[in-house]
Structure 1
Amino acid sequence: MMDLKLYINGEWRSSRNKESADIINPATQEIVAKSPRGTKEDTEEAIKAAKEAFESGVWSGKTAQERAKYLFKIADKLDEKHNELVKLEVMDNGKTKAEASFDINDAATCFRYYAGLITKPDGETYDVPEPVQAMVVREPVGVAGLIVPWNFPMLMSVWKIAPALAAGNTIVFKPAEITPVTATKLFEIMEEAGIPKGVVNMVMGEGSVVGQTISESNDVDVVSFTGSTEIGRRVMRAAAGNMKKISLELGGKSPNIIFDDADFETAIDYGLFGIFFGAGQVCSAGSRIIVQEDIYDKYVERLVERAKNIKVGPGNQEGVEMGAIVSEKQLNRILKYIKIGKQEGATLALGGNRLTKNGMDKGYFIEPTIFTNVTSDMRIVQEEIFGPVVVIQKFKEEEEAIKLANDTDFGLAGAVFSQDGAKALRVIKKVRAGITWVNTYHPTFNEAPWGGYKQSGIGRSLGTYGLEDFQEVKQININLAVEPVGWFKN
C-alpha cells in the first residue's frame, strides 16, 4: 500500500491534522493507498510557497528556452515510466489498459507541445504615430490554482500543469480526492526533472477545504477548474474576491446526430465509442444520440446488438473494453438515474444493472445501458449522468435535429454523421458547442482548444488558448523622442 504525501515547497510531508483517506481500486474495492487530507493551513502554506517562488523569479525569471528544457525532460520521464504509470492509472481510476496507455502518451505529448510553443514568437508591435513605438508582451499571471477531476487523473493534470509552467507561473495543484496516485507520480517526476522549490505544490484533500481555499485566496492569481457545473459555480463565486482569472471546464450532455444518409456502421461504431469509452465517465460523452426516423429502428436494433457484446471487467485484464465505475458513490448515482429513467417512462432497451459475475463481484461495474422512447423534458435527457448510459431520440427534418441538439443547458461537445458534406457542415455550425466532430467522435489534439458554451464553462484548455489562460497581456509604449510633451504652456 502506498503512503501518499503532500508536496509543499519542495518537500514531501503529511497533512497537519495527520488524517488520511483510503484510496480504493474500483475494480476490486481493495485499499491501494492512503492519501492525506490536506487542511486549510496546508493549502495556505502551499500558496505562500508558490507566491514566494514566483516573486523570486526562480521560475518566471527563466527564459522560455530554459523552461522548455524542463518540460521536455518531464515528457521524457513520462515515456520512461509509461508502463508503471499505466498500471497505476488502471488501479487508481478503473480504466482499461488501452485507455490509460493513451492518456499517458498524450500527457507526454502535451508537455512537448507547450515546451515547443513557449519558444515561438508571441509578441506584437504596432505602427502608431511617432515618436512612440507600441508593443504587446505576454507575461505569467502569477500563482495558478489548478483543480482537476477524477475521470482523467493524469491527463487532466497535465492539461493544466504544462501550460501553466510553460507560461512561467508557479502552481498549487489539487488532485481529485479519490484518484491522487498518478498525480503524485507526476510530482515525483517534476522533482526528478529539477523544477525549483516552491514552483510546483500539491495538496490533496476535500474540495470544500482545499479547493475552496485555493479559489478564495487573494494570493492566487488564476484558478483553472475542471469538474461539475455545480462546483464550477462555487469556484466562480469564490474567485470573485480578488477578481482572479478563471477557466472552467464543466459538464456536458452532448448530442450525436445521425442522419439517414450516414455511413451506417461508422455511425454505429462511433455511437458506441462516444458513450461507452471510459465507461461514459467523460465530460464530452455522446450521451444523447439523435437519429433520423427512417433509420431509427434499425439503428437502435444494431446499437443494442453491438453494445451487448462489449466486454466489461477489471481494466487490467486482457480484452476488456469497458472498465469499472470510479467509486461506489458514482455507481449509485448512475443506478439512481437509471431508476429515474424507468420512472419517467423511457424504454430500457439494454442494460441498467450492476454487474457482479465473472470476477466483478467486488468492483463497481454497470452494464452498457440504452434508453429509447425518451422526451426532451426527461431528467435522463437533460442532466449529466456521467456513466455508460445513453438516450436515443428521433427526428424527422434537419431543423428538428438542431433544435433537439441545442435543447440543453450544456454546450460542451457534439457530432454530426452524414455523407452529405454541405449538410454536415451546415448542421455542425448550428450546434451550440465548443468541441464538435463530423463523422467521428472524441478525437482531440493538444494543438486545438478544448472547452464549451453555455453552462459547460468559461475559457479553453489546450492549444494557444490554453496558454493564454495563464498569461497576462501587457501594452508597452516607448517614447523615442525624449523631450517635454508641451501640453501645459506654463
Structure 2
Amino acid sequence: MKRIDNVLPATGKMLIGGELRESLSGNWIECMNPATEDYIGKVPSGTEADVASAVKAAEAAQPAWAELSVAQRADHLRRLADALEMRADELLTLEVADTGNSITGMRGDISACIDRLRYFAGLGYELQGHTIPGSADKLSLTLREPYGVVGRIVAFNHPIAMATHGIASPLVAGNSVVLKPSEQCPLSATLLGEIAAQVLPPGVLNIVTGGVEVGSSLVRHPRVKRLSFVGSVRTGMAIQRSAAEVAVKSISLELGGKNPFIAFPDASPDAVAEAAVAGMNFIWQGQSCSSTSRLFVHDAIHDEVVSLIARKVQAIRIGDPFASDTQMGAINSRAHLEKIEQYVKIGKAEGARLVAGGSRPAGQGFERGFWFEPTVFADVRQDMRIAQEEIFGPILSILRWSDIDEVIELANSVEYGLTAAVWTSDIKNALRTAKRLQCGYIWVNGVNTQTRGVPFGGFKNSGTGRERGIEELYSYTEEKSLQIFL
C-alpha cells in the first residue's frame, strides 16, 4: 500500500438510508493533520435530527436484513471486505493524515479490520440455540434473535479498525447499525460509508458524523436498545446514566486501562526491556487502552532494565507518519498533547525521575504539529498520579518491587483492569500471578498480541462485555425460549 495524494483534502458525507448526505444543520467539522496542522478535509456536523433519520432508516431496513439467510448476510460482509481491500490505499492515506499514527502501524490496522469482517462472516453459523431436556410431553428450545437497531460509538486512536470491527458482529447477527465515529478522526469512516453504500442494502449500515450531540442522541434514542462504546471511563459512565433515563438498554463498554507489567527476577533484563517498550505502544504514541504503562521490575534486575529501556526509547525514530522508517508519529490533538505535557510536570513534581524524553522533539520538522518524545519515569510510587491515572500517551512509569503479594496488591490498586503482562520462566509463578490479577486480558512472556477469536474486555472500570470472538457475536442477540407441548 502507498500514499495516494489526490485523496486529500477530503469532503466526507454521512451515510443514511443508503444515501450519502450532508447534515441537516448545514455545518461541518474541519479535520487537521496532527503532524503538520494542515487542513485535510471536512465531514458533516450531525445533529439529533440526523440521528433520528439514521435510526428510522436502520429500523426500516433491519427486518429484511434479518430475514436473509446467514449465508446471504455473510456474503454481503465478504463483499464489503473485498471492496475495502480494493481501496485500502485510500483508507491508509486518510488514516495516517487524520490520526498522526505511523503508516507502519496503520497498515496493520487496515489489514486486520478487513480480516475481522471475513472472520465474523464465517462465524455466523455458530449463532445457535439449545434444546433443553424436560418431560416427554414438552420440547423446550432457545432461539437467538437480533436486537434490531444497534448503536456503536468508537474512539479516535484506531478509527477504521474500530469502525469496521464494530459493525461486523452486529451485522452478521441480523442487526442494522448506526455508527458514530470520533469527531477527531472521522475521515476514514466516511470513506467506509461511501464503500458500504455500494455493497450493503440501504439502511443496514448508517454512519453519522459529529460531536457530543450525535453521541448523546444515539445513546438516548428509545429505539436503540443495544449500544457499544469505546473510550474513556468518564464517558462510559455518562452513557450508562444517560441511556438509563430513557430505556432499559444492553450496553458494552471498552474503556481505559492503567495496565501492569510484572517482571520477575528470573526474566531476562533485555527481553523485559524490549517487551516493555513494545507494550507501551509507542508506535501509537502510547494512545492505546491496552498499553502496559506501569512496569513493575524486581529489585534484582531493576537497574539494568531501567538503563536498557532508556536507551531503547531514546533510539525510537519520531517523524513523518508517512515515512516507512518512522516508529512514532504525532499526538492526535493539541488538547491531548497539553494533557500529556501536564502529566510530565506532575510526575516531576511528585518526585519521579525522568530517564528519557519529557518534551517536544528538537530539530527541523517538529516546529508545527503535536509532537512529544517517548517518555520514561523511574522511581515511581503507586501513590503518584502518573501511576494511578490513565494518561493515554507515550509515558511509561517504572516501579520497583521485591515482595510478590505486595506487587500484586499494587497492580490491582487502580480502578482499571483491562490488560496485564507477567514475565517469568517459572510457570507456577506465572499462573498464580495471572489468576490473582484483576484484569480481563493477560499475557505471559508476551505483550500486545491479540489472537483472532480470543475475547477482549476489562474488569472493574475498564468496561463490560467481551468483544472480538464468539462472545461478541452472541452479545448482539437476545435469547428467546420456546416451549412446545407435544
- Relative to the length of structure 1, the TM-score reads 0.95
Aligned to 1:363: 369
Aligned to 2:52: 44
Runs of 5+ consecutive residues of structure 1 not aligned to the other structure: 481-490
Of residues 32, 38, 50, the one that matches 1:24 is: 32
Aligned to 1:271: 276
Q: CA-to-partner distance for each residue in 1:15-57, whole Å, 9 max, x for gaps?
A: 1111111111111111101111101111111111111222xx2
| Distance in 2 separating the partners of 1:463 and 1:120 | 11
Indicate conservation of the 8 Å contact 1:58/1:196, yes or no: no
Whether 1:234 aligns to 2:242 is no
Q: CA deviation at 1:121?
A: 5.5
Give the letter for the 1:202 counterpart: I
| Distance in 1 separating the partners of 2:442 and 2:86 | 34
Determine helix, strand or coil for the equivalent of 1:473: strand
Aligned to 2:404: 398
Q: CA deviation at 1:226?
A: 0.3
Whether 1:163 aligns to 2:154 is no
Give the letter for the 2:226 counterpart: V
Q: CA deviation at 1:264?
A: 2.4
Indicate conservation of the 8 Å contact 1:159/1:461, yes or no: no
Q: CA deviation at 1:403?
A: 1.3
Determine helix, strand or coil for the equivalent of 2:218: helix
Indicate conservation of the 8 Å contact 1:50/1:170, yes or no: yes
Q: CA deviation at 1:4?
A: 1.2
Indicate conservation of the 8 Å contact 2:30/2:42, yes or no: yes
Q: CA-to-partner distance for each residue in 1:402-456, whole Å, 9 max, x for gaps?
A: 1121111000000001111121111111111001101111111330111100000
Aligned to 1:199: 204
Q: CA deviation at 1:120?
A: 3.0
Give the letter for the 2:471 counterpart: Y
| Distance in 1 separating the partners of 2:271 and 2:301 | 14
Aligned to 2:42: 34
Of residues 213, 219, 222, the one that matches 1:215 is: 219
Shifted more, 98-107 versus 348-357: the winner is 348-357
Give the letter for the 1:209 counterpart: E
Give the letter for the 2:122 counterpart: G
Indicate conservation of the 8 Å contact 1:314/1:360, yes or no: no
Q: CA deviation at 1:356?
A: 4.8
Indicate conservation of the 8 Å contact 1:355/1:361, yes or no: no
Q: CA deviation at 1:350?
A: 1.2
| Distance in 1 separating the partners of 2:70 and 2:271 | 44
Whether 1:133 aligns to 2:139 is yes
Shifted more, 427-436 versus 347-356: the winner is 347-356
| Distance in 1 separating the partners of 2:77 and 2:226 | 21
Whether 1:301 aligns to 2:307 is yes
Q: CA deviation at 1:114?
A: 0.6
Give the letter for the 2:457 counterpart: G
Whether 1:326 aligns to 2:368 is no
Give the letter for the 1:21 counterpart: I
Whether 1:7 aligns to 2:15 is yes
Aligned to 1:472: 478
Runs of 5+ consecutive residues of structure 2 not aligned to the other structure: 1-8
| Distance in 2 separating the partners of 1:132 and 1:357 | 78
Give the letter for the 1:267 counterpart: V
Give the letter for the 2:367 counterpart: D
Give the letter for the 2:90 counterpart: E
- The aligned length equals 476
Aligned to 1:112: 118
| Distance in 1 separating the partners of 2:40 and 2:127 | 46
Indicate conservation of the 8 Å contact 2:270/2:305, yes or no: no
Whether 1:179 aligns to 2:194 is no
Of residues 143, 148, 152, the one that matches 1:146 is: 152
RMSD after superposition: 1.1
Indicate conservation of the 8 Å contact 1:356/1:365, yes or no: no
| Distance in 2 separating the partners of 1:82 and 1:35 | 20
Determine helix, strand or coil for the equivalent of 2:400: strand
Q: CA-to-partner distance for each residue in 1:37-92, whole Å, 9 max, x for gaps?
A: 101111111111111222xx221111111100011111122222222222221111
Determine helix, strand or coil for the equivalent of 1:338: helix
Determine helix, strand or coil for the equivalent of 1:138: strand
Determine helix, strand or coil for the equivalent of 1:387: coil
Indicate conservation of the 8 Å contact 2:127/2:144, yes or no: no
Matched-pair identity in %: 39
Give the letter for the 2:30 counterpart: D
